[in-house]
A and B are shown apart, each in its own frame.
Chain A
Amino acid sequence: MRLLRSRLPLWGVGDGGKYLIAIIDYRAGNLKSVECALKKLGFSCCITHNNKEILGSERIIFPGVGAAGQAIADLRHLGLDKVLKQALETGKPILGICLGAQIILDKSEENSAQCLGLISGDVKLFPSPLFSEENERLKIPHMGWNSVHLIKRHPVLEGIKPADEFYFVHSYYPMPASDKYIIGTTDYGIEFPSIIGYKNLIAMQFHPEKSGTPGLKILKNFCTWNGHYAE
């Protein structure tokens, strides 16, 4: 795969060239910043909803902001629900970001959406009112920088330190049916799962592409991860 990369132009392949990384485009949110971060790290990528192009890529980034209901409708319309399932089964490394870490579960409290079911569990709205340990009222959305308690080791999180912080912006959070899917958690009035995954799928509620140096480290790790993860 390293050899393959060196044969590829770094940026802007336009005509049927094989990309290393497919950033899935289903009209949900700021894909440009993921693209800029990968470009900075020197990885070739494309923003695409072309099923063939996605299945032909080496790895997949599944980003997204916005509402679950619309996102799922758009994904299905583009046939991307099946593509993601197929990619998961074939062992292709997949990185879910933000909404992409939510709609991989079975269903969401947002718009009562039936989701992709790649990981069993629900997406939940933060309880309201929400209070900090100091008994201050916490606002929803959870917006800003917060840390992650790593419960499990994972190749994509290699080099991440407990003090590192990441940029979050969300009102809902993923709640897998089993603890075995929870890789990291974050405190915001409650302790919620902020990194989940299994096998070749890892997903994070925060935005690594907007989280400075530690975020770029995660993206870099993902771009060289072989998709193997011993749970």
Chain B
Amino acid sequence: MLSKRIIPCLDVRDGKTTKGIKFKENVDIGDPVEMARFYYEEGADEIVFYDITASSERRDIMIDVVRRVAEEIFIPFSVGGGLRTIEDMRAVLLAGAEKVSVNTAAVKDPEIISEGAGAFGSQCIVLGMDVKNVEPSEKTPSGYEIVVHGGRTYTGIDALAWAKKAENLGAGEICLNSIDADGTKQGYEIALTSLISGNVNIPVIASGGAGNINHMHDVLKYAKADAALIASIVHYGTYTIKQIKDELHSRGIKVRNTW
């Protein structure tokens, strides 16, 4: 049977890994290539890179990071952040990434999903969704709204409708980030993850809120997430990937054993 995936996420700015709390106060914590190799050797199933470099002139730095990562790690990895065009996607894929993830660009122009899927295949295209809890309304009946710019801008788009639309447009996977839970270490947004994962037929990666292994267990078991994204709990050494996998395994979650 298919294993649930454990995916460390590295935020990269100007070629360095950072981790912010609710997208603020980022601090430099390391070299992304070294960190990727470390997690690869520890048994990570996949790695996600978000390029949060502000200036577009410095995007070449990220391409170089991708190229070096591809030479070092032999598991899939995706790159997101600031990809606005098919050419941006192509550059990242040619440098060796397995997948690209689009978020704000897809909200602005959903066709980028179908164009990307047409050019590179659905398996390459991950839709990143940043979601906030709102009062259910006519526009957002699910009670979850898509936000952009790190949660500062509400789009008026219903999260569930957007997930289904993206699937129809050819997205191969969804990385679902709860802005409310992100950085809190209080657990993933179970209801949101369950809602989205139960209503699309493509894999859903749960993101935002992981503070302990129990949180990961719950989102993989009860919310039917296909994968769990983690950051702080491994970046700051609270757990190793092996500890996470051992415990999940002992609690009946199927994970890939790499030792």
Chain A residues with a Cβ under 8 A of chain B: 29-30, 32-33, 36-37, 39-40, 65-67, 132-133, 136, 138-146, 163, 165, 167-169, 187-188, 207, 209-213, 215-216
Contact = CB atoms under 8 A, between A and B. Distances in A.
A65 B119 CA distance: 11
16 contacts: A32-B70, A32-B95, A32-B96, A40-B74, A65-B123, A139-B201, A139-B202, A144-B45, A145-B3, A146-B2, A165-B256, A169-B123, A169-B172, A210-B74, A212-B75, A213-B258
A213 B108 CA distance: 40
B203 A212 contact: no
B1 A33 contact: no
Interface string B67-83: 00011001110000000
A35 to B, nearest CB: 9
Given A165-B256, A209-B74, A210-B98, 18 more contacts: A32-B70, A32-B94, A67-B121, A136-B224, A138-B2, A141-B123, A141-B172, A142-B2, A143-B123, A144-B3, A144-B5, A146-B3, A167-B76, A210-B75, A211-B74, A212-B40, A215-B74, A216-B74
Contacts of A138: 2
Contacts of A37: 74
A88 to B, nearest CB: 26
Dominant secondary structure at the B interface: loop
A186 to B, nearest CB: 9
Contacts of B3: 144-146, 165
Contact of B202 (A36, A141, A146): A141
Given A65-B123, A145-B5, A165-B256, A139 B74 contact: no
A188 to B, nearest CB: 6
Contacts of A211: 74-75
A187 B5 CA distance: 17
A145 B2 contact: yes
B52 interface: no
Which 9 pairs between the two chains have the least Cβ-Cβ distance? A145-B256, A145-B3, A32-B96, A165-B256, A169-B123, A66-B121, A144-B2, A36-B70, A210-B76
A29 B121 contact: yes
B227 interface: yes
A30 B96 contact: yes
A64 to B, nearest CB: 10
A128 B258 CA distance: 31
A138 B2 CA distance: 10
Contacts of B201: 139-140
Contact of A163 (B1, B98, B257): B257
- Identify the interface centre among B4, B93, B258: most chain A CB within 10 Å of its CB: B258
Interface in B162-204: 172-173, 201-203
A145 B255 CA distance: 9
Contacts of A165: 3, 256-257
B223 to A, nearest CB: 13
Interface string B93-135: 1111010000000000000000000001111100000000000
A36 B96 contact: yes
Contact of A143 (B172, B256, B257): B172
B158 interface: no
A37 B98 CA distance: 14
B1 A188 contact: yes
Contacts of B2: 138, 142, 144-146, 168, 188
Contacts of B224: 136
A212 B202 contact: no
A139 B257 contact: no
B51 interface: no
A139 B95 contact: no
A163 B94 CA distance: 32
